[in-house]
Structure 1
């Protein structure tokens, strides 16, 4: 493949070639500017995105005491939601009750209560429910899974601004992919060219370009869907302004189905069991159940059933809380636009096709992370070769990447130690310490970097051991997560040891 600087320096002998050369040069310049401006945020979103693929499994790992089961009856959903309803704040405003699973990726029954207290503060409470009776067994705490998800979808910034920023990053990444293709006219022709025996910059450039090409379909899908999901709030607002004269409720109804309306107060809890049994008439598993305004007959209960034969997967059966069936929303017979919107989330998170697809998404998300990192390494190597090194900026980049790894390892360690409430503090503390250390010692950054990797790996190995000592053998999903934590720790430790010897 043509090296970027060679393309910049090449002088064409015909007007057409000269025009192509100038176009390629402009694409390289725009690609570099976009990459440098957003590289750190893209790296964070890409790395945490790889682990967000397994967020449900990590959540079950953090609640290893939860009983697992393949499915539950309608009566169990009824009892679990009734108990959650009874636990509400009587002086607050109840927004919704939600039941999750059991699912293929998290075979446990979780119940969530969303409410607003007297002071106007939003509160969310999660429980694990007994899959045989629906009794709430205890609160579900998943600070590590929440930390990883929040970093991925909102960078832990306030709502909705964090999501909007991540959505803009998705747009930026999509632009990077397109400009990267246009900047390298021979990118497909040279899809298997690897010049690892050349200088460091050439080797990094070739591997960077090869991973970019091999993962191109994934990169395009991931960045496009990520941008759309992140900016969904703005898109709904735009649809409301354009098509519904600013009425956001009508816009939401066009996308999500019927919304709650004012109705009489219910004397009894909504008949959830009969709704579930109606939704299951063809044997499809219940994936999610959402009750909005449970005490109101005009409220809405949505039962999502899963159809693995479809990419959009989910069909929603929507009932009034009085028990009356309203309509079926989504699924095989839905309009193309509704089905396309429903495909965005499965396409972004890899929740279709079972674990083979999940593992593919994990690997490709790590590859995208590596492409971002190697792009920066190429830039630093270019500056070094040009006699314009930026050691402090290089050290800052290494501190950011190593610090994130160390921070996530520290969060995993405290979660495995039963101190999950410290996960966020451990992550940010380890991250900030590593960043400050390498930034203050730029001349030693290349020496300190592998030591930070070694420390991260050691922390994960210890975390896996502590979890196993506490919980023992707890089923396929939580033990698979623990084994993965151990394997990742060993990989990081080996990388750190090898890096120290170079």
Structure 2
């Protein structure tokens, strides 16, 4: 019996330690993680968002062979002296031909890369309104709009804390499978939020583990460079050996015509029985030119840089190097990276990625709200420092959870409302995002009592306004896109409306919570023990004490399931 008690106490002590770690690991970077999860969720639809934000561009994709011929003709005319050409054939998600070339003599401080988009039918460059489009969310997700490499370091550190929070949360949960099926929204207060946090956490647990770990693997070279530095004298050697399709070959400085690229694309597609995802030409117009074709990432899980490739002599067109059977190490790295990016996912799986990633966003948000609920429960009356910390965290919660969503809506609205020919308009779109987020934080601290219901309501209104503004600013609104079956434009508007309904419901719940009278918090464990002791002293039967205090022996409350009950104070939703 004693051994059993010691074991039980040891398990409970471990869970208590993990609970503390889970709580603080989730809080310290919780606001950054919320923004990273939300923008990462949106990044799964990066091409579709960009297409919505450039409504004047309407093209249809063409076969890769025809696109390669069109791209070579354009680059031979406009960039014959470039060091490298990068050609991305069109696809259903990105119907334009995307070109990138490196000029031979860039300006000081610049890498000298120029991006061009071509109409695959006419072969002419396409210029829509200036916008970062979905690329903004993709870049913000891992760079946080901060100078290189500091943004990536901050995102990586936040990812490490997220991984610690997930693992400690698994250990903390006693009834992890029961929590998957337990959700009691009618209970209200902390219990409903705790159930929601548990359901969102357990629902996508394998996905959250995968996406967090694989995100750290993406920055493995930056985070742990010691092994590479010990083996390679020059980091470029490591890059050329691992990412063979990106290998930079030297020129011979002897002019020679470039062989046609289209037949090579056709040859590669027949060999792979799949599509070509990228064409790289090193030293076009030189006798040392090489043409490298990489298989499309959508044909498999492995990421494009770690996918099968074929390299040809740029003058004769002869195959010089290829790799179809990748090593186990390269396959593993490519699959881990590919799983994180999700480029292989077809529409149904892509929506699954999006929704489960949104569940992760909700998991972080509900965890932040629960932190406040628990601390208010245990707050000591008259403690000024504790009251200040609660106001600070609650303000950051409201200003970030509602503010980032409002920022996303402001980003989309700015795209439609700013003049299409306005210089630097893409900068102002990004500024609109941060102005809305910053304004939400200020509002949250100025109006403590109303912040949740007001900010959630404003976010809902802004999201609902996006498709409305789209009606008056473009000809590709729901009235046109739905009958035409244009699901990129229609799906975007419908998603905004669905999101508006969700945040409108949340604002309504926050308003009800604020108006409802606050109830006294549950007694702490010492208080319950004192009540039980007094009851015994007064002659109350032991059975009565046991039934009147069913959780008297429960461990100290923390952000974990089934520990205590609480009704919220103030306006915390």
Q: Is this a same-fold pair by TM over 0.5? A: yes
* Structural mapping, 1:440-479, within 5 Å: 440-466=446-472, 468-469=474-475, 473=481, 475-479=486-490
Secondary structure, aligned partner of 1:126: strand
Aligned match of 2:157: 168
Question: Aligned pair count?
Answer: 485
Q: Structure 2: 5+ residue runs without aligned partners?
A: 380-385, 514-573
2 CA distance for matches of 1:429 and 1:95? 40
Aligned match of 1:271: 260
Q: Quick check: 1:148 aligned with 2:154?
A: no
Q: Is the CA contact (8 Å cut-off) linking 1:53 and 1:349 kept in structure 2?
A: yes
Aligned match of 1:366: 358
Tell me which of 101, 107, 115 is aligned to 1:113.
101
Q: Is the CA contact (8 Å cut-off) linking 1:398 and 1:449 kept in structure 2?
A: yes
Q: Is the CA contact (8 Å cut-off) linking 2:453 and 2:507 kept in structure 1?
A: no
Aligned match of 1:3: none
**Kindly tell me: are residues 487 and 208 of structure 1, through their superposed partners in 2, closer, same or farther at Cα, counting changes over 3 Å?**
closer
* Structural mapping, 1:51-450, within 5 Å: 51-84=42-75, 86-88=77-79, 94=82, 96-115=84-103, 117-138=106-127, 141-198=130-187, 200-235=189-224, 237-244=225-232, 246-257=233-244, 259-265=247-253, 266-269=255-258, 271-282=260-271, 283-298=273-288, 300-306=290-296, 310-312=300-302, 314-322=307-315, 323-329=317-323, 331=324, 333-387=325-379, 388-389=386-387, 390-417=390-417, 418=420, 420-421=425-426, 422-450=428-456
2 CA distance for matches of 1:476 and 1:454? 23
C-alpha offsets along residues 201-220 of structure 1, whole Å, 9 cap, x if unaligned? Answer: 22212221122112111011
Secondary structure, aligned partner of 2:156: helix
Q: CA RMSD in A?
A: 2.9
Q: Structure 1: 5+ residue runs without aligned partners?
A: 1-11
2 CA distance for matches of 1:253 and 1:105? 30
Q: Is the CA contact (8 Å cut-off) linking 2:36 and 2:141 kept in structure 1?
A: yes
**Kindly tell me: are residues 492 and 200 of structure 1, through their superposed partners in 2, closer, same or farther at Cα, counting changes over 3 Å?**
closer
Secondary structure, aligned partner of 2:126: strand
Q: Is the CA contact (8 Å cut-off) linking 1:299 and 1:321 kept in structure 2?
A: yes
Q: Which segment is superposed worse, 443-452 or 401-410? A: 443-452
Q: Which segment is superposed worse, 293-302 or 277-286? A: 293-302
2 CA distance for matches of 1:140 and 1:251? 39
**Kindly tell me: are residues 212 and 408 of structure 1, through their superposed partners in 2, closer, same or farther at Cα, counting changes over 3 Å?**
same
C-alpha offsets along residues 23-52 of structure 1, whole Å, 9 cap, x if unaligned? Answer: 111111111121111101110100001100
Q: Output the TM-score relative to the length of structure 2.
A: 0.77
1 CA distance for matches of 2:471 and 2:501? 12
**Kindly tell me: are residues 310 and 392 of structure 1, through their superposed partners in 2, closer, same or farther at Cα, counting changes over 3 Å?**
closer
Q: Which segment is superposed worse, 427-436 or 58-67? A: 58-67
2 CA distance for matches of 1:45 and 1:234? 19
Aligned match of 1:7: none
